[in-house]
């Protein structure tokens, strides 16, 4: 998500299963060939490093990284660009059991070349499960990268607890990555068994839309614009710039990796990365871009985005162009209009299919007996987001900023499948009857047919205690109850009941893909799948709750637990609203979003109350400034699925699972406007824990909240 213009809420916006506990050298080499990676095989005995190694971080300016570990192997990464006009053709990688490399278990030579922008990928195998390793790269003179630390996964039958972090949405153009510093600080001080196993990054690792400081001297909301990149072949749109060729996409990855906190995090833990929208294009879907309300073909840019992701993120991804991990070998595509879409909204134009097929991101990874992580791609196969279409503007009004009637979103989502295949010809909005432009079109899909079939099969056959859906976009409904506004405060709400949010403010994720989400959750219930949890990013806000396909007055029947993590640094909705609705703003509904009690000197995140408790709680807060009195007016039917929401929170989320329980810990930091020079990355706003015991088939999952420290009173 991106809250990137001023004012209103409408601020628009292989599977690989090689997880066996033992693996032969031959099987490993076959895997390495399939992955196209140079392979380093761990020996049963260790030797001292034979390299006279001298650390030269300046020669490896993007640091080191590791990714997608299984129980015996992990991908290792670095970049070694030419220096003083001379380049090296290969690097030596060493993997050791100790940080001083006296016990080296694997060594290999890996080629690097300009064709992959001097990035280097090595698959280190023959490693022991669930243990820490150190790795480093060096050239023939012994000039070495910094030392990286990585961790293999436990074997499939290992019942030990698993602890990992999930994050999303880091913006180096207008924010600081203090959350990573806090994560490192806490992990270094944690007991060995309490340390993190990996970092799951659910997208917006980069923001491809970049402001140059001179284009936006006023900054962005509370932030100043940093001069992080200049696109050599960029395109300027309004006051921002976007990449057009692979060189531009590579440049933005490099600039992000120069951030010291992010680089240190990549050197400390293996990352598991999945793209969201901004790795390609802000409002992009399939290989299409959308700017200024106009959708245009962008197949060449989708391929360029995939190539840069492939080069800069060590991940086990499938590409049909061949197994080489040394080079991406992009398919040739042209930017051809996409006019014909199949029954699932998939554009049949051959260049579109080639572009989105150039890299497959969805995959599943195991961490012992307790965790199967099923990661999906929400951007490459999705159909057009209905609430983002120009025709949907007819269902919104500045009188109710950002709000769309829920029944309208449901009709638009379902298309021709609405009401058992009897969609209305027109949709009522207040006194108006507006043509139903979706009545002849298929229901919205975010996963697409092929990926969805894969996803459901993974869910059905998983043997792990917890089936964790790593969905880059949120699944928890985001709604309000404007039907309960007192008469006379503003105009009459033109909807029939509850409100959802428009594309710029919330819709477009799995919370409003009602048909598809219903299909998935029905599948979970009908197959008796327990231990189902979704974890997501994109929303720039912390959410904890229950996974249910419908809310009152429909049947509320949770089938799992669901969480959304706050952004690492990208601005959130509350920050955007503070600028859109300053104190003097005459909008009668300001109190619903950034209200102030009589004694408050600054706006409060009352939007959290709006989403969790309803309009009456917001209005009471504005009147009395008494949060307990406000919460006492909670509408129990509005959000029975939500136990915590903070639309202004930044930081990260720690998942801790055992064979009996799942716990998500939200670590929330203050708005990361500037880099903290403190060793701990700066203070905390709050730390909360959200715990569910494993439920049995037929039982309803339950979440318990614990506020560990800090002030989270607007979020509960
Ligand atoms: Fe984002």
- Spell out the residues 6+ positions from residue 550 whose beta carbon is closer than 8 angstroms to its own: 514, 518, 556, 557
Exposure pattern of 378-403 as b/e (b: 16+ CB <10 Å)? Answer: bbbbbbbbbbbbeebeebbeeebbbb
Exposure pattern of 339-362 as b/e (b: 16+ CB <10 Å)? Answer: eebeebbbbebebbbbbbbbbbbb
Mean pLDDT of 537-548: 98
Give yes or no for residue 177 having a pLDDT over 70. Answer: yes
**Angle formed by the axes of helices 514-526 and 449-461, nearest 10°:** 20
How many A from CA of 552 to the centre of ligand 1?
29
How many A from CA of 572 to the centre of ligand 1?
9
Average pLDDT of every residue of the chain: 94
User: What confidence score (pLDDT) does residue 204 get?
Assistant: 98
CB 109 within 8 A of CB 144: no
How many A from CA of 576 to the centre of ligand 1?
13
How many A from CA of 85 to the centre of ligand 1?
37
How many A from CA of 5 to the centre of ligand 1?
14
Element (H, E) at 664: strand 661-669
How many A from CA of 366 to the centre of ligand 1?
26
In terms of DSSP bridges, do strands 162-167 and 199-201 run parallel, antiparallel, or are they unpaired? parallel
Nearest of 145, 123, 110 to residue 75 by alpha carbon: 123
How many A from CA of 174 to the centre of ligand 1?
13
User: What confidence score (pLDDT) does residue 33 get?
Assistant: 75
How many A from CA of 1 to the centre of ligand 1?
4
Exposure pattern of 479-500 as b/e (b: 16+ CB <10 Å)? Answer: bbbbbbbeeeeeeebbbeebbb
Q: What are phi and psi of 91, to 5 degrees?
A: -125, 155
Mean pLDDT of 447-466: 98
Mean pLDDT of 478-499: 97
d(Cα 583, Cα 264) in Å, to the nearest integer?
40
How many A from CA of 468 to the centre of ligand 1?
21
Nearest of 544, 573, 584, 526 to residue 671 by alpha carbon: 573
Placement of tokens 């994109």 in the chain: 538
Within 10 angstroms of residue 158's Cβ, the number of other Cβ atoms is 17
∠613-618-621 over CA atoms, to 5°?
120
Q: Please name every residue paired with 270 in a beta bridge, in sequence order, or none if there are none.
A: none
How many A from CA of 569 to the centre of ligand 1?
9
Choice among 321-325, 609-613, 656-660, 680-684 with the minimum mean pLDDT: 321-325
Q: Is the dihedral of CA 440, 516, 640, 633 positive or negative?
A: negative
User: What confidence score (pLDDT) does residue 45 get?
Assistant: 87
d(Cα 513, Cα 342) in Å, to the nearest integer?
18
How many A from CA of 127 to the centre of ligand 1?
35
User: What confidence score (pLDDT) does residue 323 get?
Assistant: 67
How many A from CA of 13 to the centre of ligand 1?
10
Class of residue 85 by CB neighbours under 10 A (exposed 0-12, middle 13-18, buried 19+): exposed
568-588 per-position pLDDT tens digit: 999 999 999 999 999 889 999
- As given in the structure block, the two tokens for residue 171 are 């913006």
Q: Which ranges of 190-334 does DSSP label H, i.e. alpha helix?
A: 246-257, 260-268, 299-312
CB 647 within 8 A of CB 607: yes
Q: Is 356 helix (H, G, I), strand (E, B) or coil?
A: helix
User: What confidence score (pLDDT) does residue 14 get?
Assistant: 30
How many A from CA of 652 to the centre of ligand 1?
13
Choice among 35-44, 86-95, 106-115, 342-351 with the minimum mean pLDDT: 35-44
Nearest of 394, 297, 307, 400 to residue 350 by alpha carbon: 297
Select the more confidently predicted residue: 172 or 323: 172
305-325 per-position pLDDT tens digit: 999 999 999 999 988 877 677
How many A from CA of 288 to the centre of ligand 1?
18
Residues near ligand 1 ion, CB 5 Å cutoff? 1, 169, 204, 570
pLDDT classification of 11: cutoffs 50, 70, 90: very low
How many A from CA of 203 to the centre of ligand 1?
7
Within 10 angstroms of residue 25's Cβ, the number of other Cβ atoms is 13
How many A from CA of 324 to the centre of ligand 1?
31
How many A from CA of 538 to the centre of ligand 1?
5
Mean pLDDT of 298-308: 98
Mean pLDDT of 642-670: 98
CB 62 within 8 A of CB 78: yes
Q: What percent of the chain has pLDDT over 90?
A: 91
Mean pLDDT of 597-609: 97
d(Cα 593, Cα 699) in Å, to the nearest integer?
36
Q: Please name every residue paired with 134 in a beta bridge, in sequence order, or none if there are none.
A: 96, 149
How many A from CA of 507 to the centre of ligand 1?
14
How many A from CA of 239 to the centre of ligand 1?
19
Give yes or no for residue 5 having a pLDDT over 80. Answer: no
Within 10 angstroms of residue 583's Cβ, the number of other Cβ atoms is 12
How many A from CA of 285 to the centre of ligand 1?
15
Read off the DSSP letter of residue 58: G
How many A from CA of 29 to the centre of ligand 1?
38
Choice among 316-320, 531-535, 624-628, 644-648 with the minimum mean pLDDT: 316-320
How many A from CA of 602 to the centre of ligand 1?
26
User: What confidence score (pLDDT) does residue 4 get?
Assistant: 42
12-71 per-position pLDDT tens digit: 333 333 333 457 888 888 877 777 677 888 888 899 999 999 999 999 999 999 999 999
Nearest of 570, 536, 558 to residue 653 by alpha carbon: 536
How many A from CA of 303 to the centre of ligand 1?
21
Q: What percent of the chain has pLDDT over 70?
A: 97
355-366 per-position pLDDT tens digit: 999 999 999 999
How many A from CA of 599 to the centre of ligand 1?
33
How many A from CA of 147 to the centre of ligand 1?
30
∠287-512-493 over CA atoms, to 5°?
125
């Amino acid at each position: 998500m991106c809250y990137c213009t001023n004012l209103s809420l409408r601020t628009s916006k292989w599977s690989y299963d090689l997880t066996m506990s033992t693996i032969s050298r031959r099987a490993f080499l076959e895997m390495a060939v399939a992955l196209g990676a140079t392979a380093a095989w761990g020996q049963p005995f260790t030797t001292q490093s034979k390299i006279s190694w001298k650390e030269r971080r300046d020669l490896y300016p993007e640091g080191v990284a590791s990714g997608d570990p299984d129980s015996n192997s992990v991908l290792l990464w670095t970049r070694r660009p030419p220096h003083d006009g001379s380049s090296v053709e290969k690097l030596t990688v060493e993997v050791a059991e100790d940080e001083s490399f006296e016990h080296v278990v694997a060594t290999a030579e890996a080629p690097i070349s300009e064709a992959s922008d001097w990035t280097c990928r090595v698959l280190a195998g023959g490693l022991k499960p669930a243990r820490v390793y150190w790795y480093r790269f060096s050239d023939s003179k012994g000039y070495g990268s910094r030392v990286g630390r990585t961790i293999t996964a436990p074997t499939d039958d290992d019942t030990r607890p698993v602890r990992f972090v999930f994050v999303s949405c880091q913006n180096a153009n207008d924010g600081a990555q203090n959350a990573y510093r806090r994560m490192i600080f806490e992990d270094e001080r944690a007991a060995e068994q309490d340390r993190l196993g990996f970092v799951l990054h659910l997208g917006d690792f980069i923001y491809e839309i970049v402001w140059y400081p001179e284009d936006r001297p006023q900054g962005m909301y509370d932030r100043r614009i940093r001069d992080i990149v200049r696109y050599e072949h960029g395109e300027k749109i309004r006051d921002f710039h976007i990449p057009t060729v692979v060189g531009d996409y590579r440049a933005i990855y490099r600039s992000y990796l120069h951030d010291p906190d992010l680089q240190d995090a990549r050197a400390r833990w293996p990352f598991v990365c999945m793209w969201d929208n901004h790795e390609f294009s802000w409002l992009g879907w399939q290989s299409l871009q959308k700017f200024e309300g106009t959708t245009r073909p962008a197949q060449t840019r989708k391929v360029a985005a995939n190539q840069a992701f492939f080069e800069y993120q060590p991940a086990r991804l499938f590409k049909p162009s061949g197994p080489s991990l040394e080079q991406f070998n992009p398919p040739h595509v042209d930017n051809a209009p996409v006019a014909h879409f199949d029954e699932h909204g998939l554009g049949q134009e051959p260049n579109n299919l080639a572009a989105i097929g150039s890299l497959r991101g969805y995959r599943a990874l195991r961490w012992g007996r307790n965790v199967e992580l099923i990661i999906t791609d929400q951007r490459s196969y999705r159909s057009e987001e209905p609430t983002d279409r120009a025709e949907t503007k007819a269902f919104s009004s500045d009188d109710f900023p950002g709000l769309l009637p829920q029944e309208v979103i449901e009709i638009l989502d379902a298309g021709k499948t609405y009401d058992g295949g009897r969609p209305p010809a027109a949709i009522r909005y207040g006194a108006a009857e507006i043509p139903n432009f979706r009545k002849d079109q298929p229901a919205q899909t975010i996963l697409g047919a092929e990926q969805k079939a894969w996803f459901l099969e993974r869910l059905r056959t998983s043997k792990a205690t917890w089936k964790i859906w790593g969905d880059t976009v949120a699944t928890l409904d985001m709604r309000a109850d404007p039907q309960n506004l007192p008469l006379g405060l503003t105009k009459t709400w033109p909807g029939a009941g509850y409100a959802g949010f428009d594309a710029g403010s919330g819709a477009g994720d799995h919370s409003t893909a009602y048909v598809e989400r219903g299909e998935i959750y029905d599948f979970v219930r009908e197959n008796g799948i327990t231990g189902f949890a979704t974890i997501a990013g994109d929303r720039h806000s912390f959410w904890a709750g229950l996974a249910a396909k419908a809310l009152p007055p429909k049947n509320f029947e949770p089938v799992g637990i669901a969480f959304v993590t706050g952004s690492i640094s990208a601005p959130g909705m509350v920050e955007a609203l503070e600028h859109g609705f300053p104190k003097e703003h005459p909008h009668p509904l300001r109190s619903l979003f950034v209200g102030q009690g009589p004694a408050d000197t600054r706006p409060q995140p009352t939007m959290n109350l709006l989403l969790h408790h309803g309009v009456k709680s917001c209005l009471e807060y504005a009147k009395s400034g008494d949060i307990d009195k406000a919460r006492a007016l909670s509408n129990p039917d509005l959000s029975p699925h939500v136990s915590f929401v903070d639309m202004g929170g930044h930081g990260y989320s720690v998942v801790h699972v055992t064979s009996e329980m799942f716990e998500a810990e939200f670590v929330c930091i203050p708005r990361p406007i500037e880099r903290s020079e403190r060793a701990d990355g700066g203070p905390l706003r709050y730390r909360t824990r959200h715990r569910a015991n494993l439920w049995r088939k037929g039982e309803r999952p339950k979440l318990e909240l614990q506020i560990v420290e800090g002030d989270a009173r607007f979020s509960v």
